[in-house]
Amino acid sequence: MLDWTDRHCRYFHRRLSRQARLYTEMVTTGALLYGDRARHLDFDPAEQPVALQLGGSEPQALAECARLALRWGYAEVNLNCGCPSPRVQRGAFGACLMAEAPLVRDCVAAMRDAVGDAMPVTVKHRIGIDRIEHYGFVRDFVGEVARGGCEVFIVHARNAWLDGLSPKDNREVPPLRPEFVYRLKQEFPQLRIVLNGGVRDDAQLREHLRHVDGVMVGREAYQRPWWLASWDRDHFGCDVPQAADAQAVEDAMLGYCERMAAQGVAPFAVVRHMLGLWKGAPGARAWRQAMSDPRHRRLDARGLFEAATRARVEAAGASLAAA
Residues linked to residue 128 through DSSP beta bridges, in sequence order: 159
Map residue 78 onto helix, strand or coil.
Answer: strand
AA letter at 296 = H
Among candidate residues 9, 83, 107, 257, the one labeled active-site is 83
AA letter at 90 = R
What is the phi/psi pair of residue 127, to 5°?
-90, -10
DSSP conformational letter for 210 = T
Query: Is 83 a residue of the active site?
Result: yes
Say how far apart CA 167 and CA 293 lie, in whole Å. Answer: 28
Residues linked to residue 159 through DSSP beta bridges, in sequence order: 128
Give the number of other CB atoms < 10 A from CB of residue 123. Answer: 27
Say how far apart CA 267 and CA 272 lie, in whole Å. Answer: 9
Say how far apart CA 124 and CA 24 lie, in whole Å. Answer: 13
Residues annotated catalytic, as ranges = 83
